[in-house]
Amino acid sequence: MHDDRTLVEARLKRVLEERVRPAVHPESVPLEVAVWTAPGEPVPVAEGLAAASGASAPIAVGDLWGAPWGTSWFTVTGTVPERWAGRTVEAILDLGFDENMPGFQCEGLVYRPDGTPVKGLNPRNQWVRVGAPVEGGEEVRLHVEAASNPVILDYHPFLPTKLGDRETAGTTPQYRLARMDLAVFDEAVWQLVIDLEVLGELMMELPVESARRYELLRAIGRALDAIDLQDVGGTAEAARAELAGVLSAPAVPSAHRISAVGHAHIDSAWLWPLRETVRKVARTASNMTALLRDEPDFVFVMSQAQQWAWIKEHRPEVWAEVTKAVAAGRFVPTGGMWVESDTNMPGSEAMARQFVHGKRFFIDEFGVDNDEVWLPDTFGFAAGLPQIIKAAGSRRLLTQKISWSRTNTFPHHTFLWEGIDGTRIFTHFPPVDTYNCSMSGREIAHAAANFKDKGVARHSLAPTGWGDGGGGTTREMVAKAARLRDLEGSATVTWETPSAFFDKAEAEYPHPPVWAGELYLELHRATLTSQARTKRGNRRSESLLREAELWAATAAVRAGFSYPYAQLDRIWKTVLLHQFHDILPGSSIAWVHREAERTYAAVAEELESIIDAAQRALAGPPSGGVVVFNSAPHTRAAVPAGGAARADGSGASGRTAREDGGHVLDNGLLRVEIDGRGLVVSAFDLAAERETVAPGQTANLLQIHPDFPNMWDAWDVDEFYRNTVTDLVEAEEVAPGDEPGSVRVVRSFGASTVTQVLTLPSGAKRLDIRTEVDWHETEKFLKLAFPLDVHAERYASESQYGHVYRPTHTNTSWEAAKFEACNHRFVHVGEPDWGVALVNDATYGHDVTRTVRAGDSGTTTTVRISLLRAPRFPDPETDQGLHRFHHALVPGATIGDAVREGHFANLPERRVPGDAEVAPLVTLDNDAVVVTAVKLADDESGDVIVRFHESRGARARATLTPNFPISAAIPADLLERPLADPHPGGEPVSLRLRPFELVTLRLVRGR
Ligand SMILES: [Zn+2]
């Protein structure tokens, strides 16, 4: 037979596009449209409806509307023509959508005149059902709350734009009203479209030599013959009859099995401000409750408790529909975090609280205690996470983001992920490689072909629906999934909840492979540095929350202080929200980061006032004395961890001049030489007789690189940035600082200036470096370099509840790809008997390299801290202005010293007028066991919660002594729920911890 395959394929494409799809709505009449534009920010629904009914002005299709970030209330009215009696009728409301970009543009929410929401309007979801069937003559009146969100990520992506902030976006209308009609909906034609799409797309994925491909080709050819192009509606059923045979052929027994999960990945802020997400979530949730009513097999999931809480607070009408669908098991809370946060940068406690507040919301509202974690889009996963997931009472993880890695292909789709402490979490990466699956033949075939675990496992998950304002799952996707349920040549598709999927995946794969350590994303590495003030705000908030809880709990137990439960709960949720995977990473528009700065300032003010009130309650009446509070987990200058003592005098370190205009600082433990250029040429550990700085090199060296990645400006730094570097060695001033034992260095470069104060405190083997940068560069990367005379195969970076090791070499592509990585409070490099730590109070990005040692054939190790970048997309002014950093070089440091100094740098002591000594609420007798939280229980029982972990990666014994009466010490999970019987033997509590083990104890108050 002659092969006419390509002829039929091309025929299908044209007929579908030009004749069949347009025949879905074969007849239409225009609606009358009027518009009222809200003068500023969005108004409440009732206000918008009232204004839209009263003060609207006429607007016509073709007219421009919508200043950037504006809200327009459209009122559409019309009458269903009598001749349409018995037909299905829809309103088609096209606000000026670009169907090629399902999210990221204008959107609407349709209301009835009484204020009940109907559904969202999105680029691929423009219809509103009016009647099925209609009688004819019905009056139609609908209101649309339309948001003219500007397109930030355009066809030419990553171009700097001022549209990302209402203050700079201007008032030029962004959209042109495209279609506002009443139209007949022809169900048979719509079904024919889906049939042809499913079979046509499947056909294109099958091998050209396969018989099934030709069966589909012939059936499609017959169906096209059956269509009368002048009467598609009248011949659609006949065409469908030609396809029924190939549509009913069942899948082969070995077919891949896809659990489709209705989903809309909605970034809690990104190319829009937080307030817009409140509305995006409402629109999508309205769409989904409407779709659930129409489609009995469909299941939709939504993660991020914060987004649920927004609906509850801001859109009670939508919430009512959502809760009904939840009760029916169809609209399913998934995941168990407050937001889908970054997981690299949140500190130990914050990472834990993401789960506490996320899980608690679902438990309190719906009685749902999920065991899966849902993080499809997060930029890499810290190796502390498995233990946190388990301690929250969960045990499964889903993400697909690692498929975005640019260098290496991850070897598994279903596996056990092992964290630093050994906890293993059953993990699935959907092989469909997207969180916006649309049920296309290409996606389904890709999932099946791509699945790395085939042969031993058969199930994968496909998050299905348009995210970010795309409106979620569409009726077309549901219709396609129905045809793919059991279809020869395709993977099978079933709507399921994530937990139903995980049950099957676990059951079929009892011995999955294991991946140990972090899930490093080989992309978006610059998110550890971009928007430095947002990062500082996060770190500062985490430290202040620790202090506020500690001192409020201590004062509550000791002085009857009123513990601010509700206030702390609210502040925690604010801080957790800002750890969302586009806020803390610095990848949002200017509006988001400008607001975040203000929010962090307000958070700091509130927490400072809690801390101050609690400490004053503990310090006693002012008596001329000063009490020093130590919220760090280690004794500091004789003040116990978590306690307070009367202030002591302190010594000083000496400073002498060098001939070259530099200075020598010496405190008897460390002798630091700063040359006439303000660079550290020596840091000599006097007891160990070891030099810290690599021979012939200089530490505290600022280096600046050009930084213009190929794409994703705020997210990415590409490896070639290192090829060009300028060392900032010219100093304008190298002079004694204000404090004793300190030196001040001032440099200018480009349009920027840096002022550094280097201080050697008395009694500490630590050089403090306080850096203030007035930054006015663009597309540059500023690093602070410390070449260390240490030979090291690997180095440690602090992570949640421990640290992770990474190699200093680049033997394989996996190691080479980690050219920029995350640390929390410290990076540590060491030889077995001597090491160096670099600690910080606000930075996360760093790189570590090795160099041949001058004078011999050994190697040295250079640690470089990433201070600032200046990308121009999505915020064209990223990081411009003033920044402050505190770093410290700690020669001779063990990991234990690094842990301690990291805490000290982030938790400075506080001096309060008073006279009282304050004994810590709990004392631990082993410095390796580090307290991360002391607080009152969230159930307001008055019980004290203490959380601690082994911090050095070794086994530890410790005794915990409560310094207040307790009746029991009960092991608990992160949600403070008892895990086991009370500790036997009462108090003090003796403990044995495995490496990095995390423990939560509930100390029940006795009397
Ligand atoms: Zn995202």
- SS3 letters across 753-780: EEEEEEECCCCCCCEEEEEEEEECCCCE
User: How many angstroms separate the alpha carbon of residue 561 from the centre of ligand 1?
Assistant: 41
User: How many angstroms separate the alpha carbon of residue 523 from the centre of ligand 1?
Assistant: 14
Question: What is the average per-residue pLDDT within 550-578?
Answer: 98
User: How many angstroms separate the alpha carbon of residue 145 from the centre of ligand 1?
Assistant: 25
User: How many angstroms separate the alpha carbon of residue 581 from the centre of ligand 1?
Assistant: 6
- Residue 141's identity, in one-letter code, is R
Strand residues in 85-167 grouped as ranges (E): 88-94, 107-111, 117-121, 127-131, 139-148
Question: What is d(CA 997, CA 953) in angstroms, rounded to the nearest whole number?
Answer: 9
Nearest C-alpha neighbor of 340 from the set 287, 371, 303, 310: 303
Task: Report yes or no: 853 and 860 within 8 Å, Cβ to Cβ.
Answer: yes
Task: Report yes or no: 670 and 686 within 8 Å, Cβ to Cβ.
Answer: yes
Q: Are strands 802-807 and 767-775 parallel, antiparallel or unpaired?
A: unpaired
pLDDT at 1006 over 90: no
> Any residues with CB less than 8 A from the CB of 992 and at least 6 apart, and which?
955, 956, 957
User: How many angstroms separate the alpha carbon of residue 468 from the centre of ligand 1?
Assistant: 8
pTM above 0.85, yes or no: yes
Question: What is d(CA 41, CA 437) in angstroms, rounded to the nearest whole number?
Answer: 33
User: How many angstroms separate the alpha carbon of residue 674 from the centre of ligand 1?
Assistant: 46
Residue 208: the pLDDT is 97
User: How many angstroms separate the alpha carbon of residue 370 from the centre of ligand 1?
Assistant: 21
Q: Are strands 821-822 and 780-788 parallel, antiparallel or unpaired?
A: unpaired
Strand residues in 28-164 grouped as ranges (E): 28-30, 32-37, 57-58, 64-65, 70-79, 88-94, 107-111, 117-121, 127-131, 139-148
Residue 982: the pLDDT is 87
Buried b / exposed e over 371-402, threshold 16 CB at 10 Å, is bbbbbbbbbbbbbbbbbbbbbbbbbbbbbbbb
User: How many angstroms separate the alpha carbon of residue 430 from the centre of ligand 1?
Assistant: 16
pLDDT at 651 over 70: no
Question: What is d(CA 756, CA 742) in angstroms, rounded to the nearest whole number?
Answer: 10
User: How many angstroms separate the alpha carbon of residue 270 from the centre of ligand 1?
Assistant: 8
User: How many angstroms separate the alpha carbon of residue 269 from the centre of ligand 1?
Assistant: 9
Nearest C-alpha neighbor of 374 from the set 302, 468, 441: 302
Tens of pLDDT along 239-257? 999 999 999 999 999 999 9
* Catalytic status, residue 371: no
User: How many angstroms separate the alpha carbon of residue 426 from the centre of ligand 1?
Assistant: 22
Nearest C-alpha neighbor of 789 from the set 847, 850, 728, 838: 850
Task: Report yes or no: 996 and 959 within 8 Å, Cβ to Cβ.
Answer: no
Residue 103: the pLDDT is 82
User: How many angstroms separate the alpha carbon of residue 448 from the centre of ligand 1?
Assistant: 24
> Any residues with CB less than 8 A from the CB of 52 and at least 6 apart, and which?
34, 35, 36, 73, 74, 75, 143
Largest CA distance in the chain: 104
DSSP 430-462: -TT--SSB---HHHHHHHHHH-TTBTTB-EEEE
pLDDT at 649 over 70: no
Task: Report yes or no: 644 and 918 within 8 Å, Cβ to Cβ.
Answer: yes
Q: Are strands 414-418 and 514-516 parallel, antiparallel or unpaired?
A: parallel
Task: Select which of 186, 377, 675, 716 is catalytic.
Answer: 377
Residue 652: the pLDDT is 66
Question: What is the average per-residue pLDDT within 440-453?
Answer: 98
Question: What is the average per-residue pLDDT within 950-969?
Answer: 96
Question: What is d(CA 264, CA 293) in angstroms, rounded to the nearest whole number?
Answer: 18
How many Cα neighbours within 13 Å face the side chain of 256? 24
User: How many angstroms separate the alpha carbon of residue 151 from the centre of ligand 1?
Assistant: 17
Name the token pair of 289: 């409750």
User: How many angstroms separate the alpha carbon of residue 274 from the centre of ligand 1?
Assistant: 13
Compute the mean pLDDT over every residue in the chain, rounded to the nearest whole number: 96
User: How many angstroms separate the alpha carbon of residue 73 from the centre of ligand 1?
Assistant: 28
- Residue 738's identity, in one-letter code, is D
Strand residues in 892-965 grouped as ranges (E): 910-913, 922-924, 929-936, 944-950, 956-962
Termini Cα distance of the chain:
94
Question: What is the average per-residue pLDDT within 418-437?
Answer: 97
Residue 469: the pLDDT is 83
User: How many angstroms separate the alpha carbon of residue 582 from the centre of ligand 1?
Assistant: 7
pLDDT band at 826 (very low <50, low <70, confident <90, very high): very high
Output helix, strand, coil percentages for the chain, rounded to the nearest 5.
30, 30, 40
pLDDT at 511 over 90: yes
pLDDT band at 985 (very low <50, low <70, confident <90, very high): low
pLDDT at 66 over 90: yes
User: Does residue 162 come out as left (phi exceeding 0), alpha (psi in the -120 to 50 range) or beta?
Assistant: alpha
Task: Report yes or no: 936 and 943 within 8 Å, Cβ to Cβ.
Answer: yes
> In the chain, what percentage of residues exceed pLDDT 70?
99
Task: Report yes or no: 191 and 14 within 8 Å, Cβ to Cβ.
Answer: no
User: How many angstroms separate the alpha carbon of residue 224 from the centre of ligand 1?
Assistant: 41
- Residue 863, strand partner residues: 786, 848
User: How many angstroms separate the alpha carbon of residue 266 from the centre of ligand 1?
Assistant: 7
Ranking 166-180, 193-207, 646-660 by mean pLDDT, the lowest is: 646-660
User: How many angstroms separate the alpha carbon of residue 466 from the centre of ligand 1?
Assistant: 12
CA 983 and chain centroid, separation: 37
- The torsion angle over the Cα atoms of residues 489, 495, 498 and 503, rounded to 10 degrees, is -70
Residue count of the chain: 1007
Task: Report yes or no: 349 and 549 within 8 Å, Cβ to Cβ.
Answer: no
Tens of pLDDT along 315-364? 999 999 999 999 999 999 999 999 999 999 999 999 999 999 999 999 99
User: How many angstroms separate the alpha carbon of residue 117 from the centre of ligand 1?
Assistant: 26
Tens of pLDDT along 128-165? 999 999 999 999 999 999 999 999 998 889 999 999 99
Other CB atoms within a 10 A radius of the CB of residue 810 amount to 14
Question: What is d(CA 926, CA 330) in angstroms, rounded to the nearest whole number?
Answer: 50
Residue 392: the pLDDT is 98
Tens of pLDDT along 455-464? 999 999 999 9
User: How many angstroms separate the alpha carbon of residue 265 from the centre of ligand 1?
Assistant: 6
User: How many angstroms separate the alpha carbon of residue 735 from the centre of ligand 1?
Assistant: 48
> In the chain, what percentage of residues exceed pLDDT 90?
95
User: How many angstroms separate the alpha carbon of residue 326 from the centre of ligand 1?
Assistant: 24
pLDDT at 1002 over 80: yes
Question: What is the average per-residue pLDDT within 165-187?
Answer: 97
Tens of pLDDT along 377-422? 999 999 999 999 999 999 999 999 999 999 999 999 999 999 999 9
pLDDT band at 893 (very low <50, low <70, confident <90, very high): very high
- Residue 924, strand partner residues: 960
pLDDT band at 983 (very low <50, low <70, confident <90, very high): confident
CA 231 and chain centroid, separation: 51
DSSP 268-315: SSSSS-HHHHHHHHHHHHHHHHHHHHH-TT--EEE--HHHHHHHHHH-
User: How many angstroms separate the alpha carbon of residue 849 from the centre of ligand 1?
Assistant: 31
Task: Report yes or no: 924 and 646 within 8 Å, Cβ to Cβ.
Answer: no
Task: Dihedral sign for Cα 728, 729, 734, 740, please.
Answer: positive
User: How many angstroms separate the alpha carbon of residue 476 from the centre of ligand 1?
Assistant: 24
Q: Could you tell me the CA-to-CA distances from 615 to 606, 656, 922 in Å, in that order?
A: 14, 39, 17
